[in-house]
Structure 1
Amino acid sequence: MSVTVFIQGRNGVTRWHPSKRWLLLPILLVAAGTGLYQQNADRFAAQQTKVDENQKLREQQKQQVLDLKKATETQLSTLVAHVARMQANVTRLEALGQQVAENNLLEDQFDFTADVGVGGLSEIGAGVELNQLLDDMSQLASRIDNNNVQLALLETVSTNLHIDKERYISGRPIVKGWLSSPYGLRNDPFNGRRTMHKGIDFAGKEGGDVIATAAGVVTWSGNMLGYGGLVEIDHGNGLRTRYGHNKSMSVNVGDVVAKGDKIASMGSTGRSTGPHVHYEVLRNGQQIDPRKFVYRKAS
């Protein structure tokens, strides 16, 4: 097959017979154009896909930032609430300590209102609000530690001031009743012989309260020959008190009792003729006359 091309010119019509190579040229141009178009289309699609992926990644990062911001705000709110509770507790602690110091006339030695002395170098971080919060928490912890130390010292001083008063033996071992037998020689109610009575008897109603005449540690709570139900309290410095013939005991060995605490109920157990309390004061293991303790003024 041959192709004839007529070309109109000034000198008339010219015939041109293109070779097969010239016939293939349009096909090659079309093929090349199609290839370039497809290549550009693929490249554009790849770039668009990459752009979409980057956009999606940015959206994910943005969401992560928002989630982190929300979590941080929640944590900050929790920290703020925690600091507020710490501040309330410290305020209460300081008020209590100041009151105890004033009650014991020690306000010149213990000041719970002044700031705690702190210092040293520190670096300023990027998060000012968070650093401020952490600094507040650090100061609160320091105040708590300082107040705990002062309260411990104050408690020691207060205890030393009141220990002698609490251990000071005075008053009667009963709430209601009367003295029925004094200390010293008397006629024994069982055999009539002249015997030494090494305590004081206080008669009253069965079941009445028997109280400690001073603070101390219970060293006996149970039956003892002749005494019946007996409670013995050690007050230190070699002094002990005994409370005999009880119907029942309200304390156990090892208990720490305060002055005026109920330790037993009045009864008539042991060698007894009726409801009463046999009260003894012992110094270094020997009974002494309790009258000077019963009738002396409380310190």
Structure 2
Amino acid sequence: MQIILLHPRFTKARSITLTYRHWLVGGVVALVALVLCSSLLTWIALTHATELKLPFLQNMLSSASPDDAGKKDKYLKENLAAMAIKLGEMQAQLMRLDALGERVQGLSGVKPEEFNFKELPGRGGSEPANRLRPRPPELTLSAFQSALDALAVDVEHRSDYMNVVETTLMFDKIRSKLLPTIQPVNVSYNASGFGWRFDPFTGHSAFHEGIDFPAPTGTHIIAAAGGVVIAAEFHHQFGNMLEIDHGNEIVTRYAHASRLLAKVGDIVQRGQYVADIGSTGRSTGSHLHFEVLVKGVQQDPHKFLIAGADQGRVPLVTQK
């Protein structure tokens, strides 16, 4: 085969003669180039099938490797088992959280019928208009695992918060029981209050450091708060006297008793029967002289009794 080449630069026409050898070499080169291009395109398609979003290639790959399907099934089963274990742990945490919530409920005074931890809260609303809102993204296994882990951490944090609340409420309840807020004698009035008055013996102005509750001899005296007895003795002015330490440098004093039932070192409860009213010591008649001392200084007991007035009467606790 002869090819004639014409060009303005050529002074004369040129010709090229193609032999069988030329055709053979050209065919081999074209075939090699075709194979190389096909290989390159196949490698690109297989490597970037997911990025190129070619489903038929992905299906081809998955069908071409049956071992991958087995690996995926094993991976799915392992993750489901791990999530089942995590779910069981969360259920146990929720049970502990419910029990803790009931204890906190009791300490806070909330009625069980107002907030029941064992019942789901009521929820509702109109049916969502799905046509007006975009569809949420599909939930993948990894996304569900992440959400489950985050929920487990959140439950743990809330359990810690509830423990702090329970501790605080318990401390407040104990501290309130250690404040002398209940009247030590069941009488409706007092004969002499806290402050300046005319001394019944001298007739001179003097500061009265407590409250006098008149009552017949033998009337029960109860502890105004829980604490430890630090004095149970006869005093030349207070007569038979009892002192109870309630912590936080608060002490109550009960004077002029006819009989002391508690002794030094006894732990007494709030409202416990500890003595009988009398007229021992510097006294004009049967009564209880009641004092509240904070850091060794007498305070007006009326302030403490007013604080506990809305708590009602505390049941009498007899000495064991």
Q: TM-score, normalised by structure 2?
A: 0.45
TM-score by length of 1: 0.47
Q: Which has the higher strand share?
A: 1
Larger radius of gyration: 1
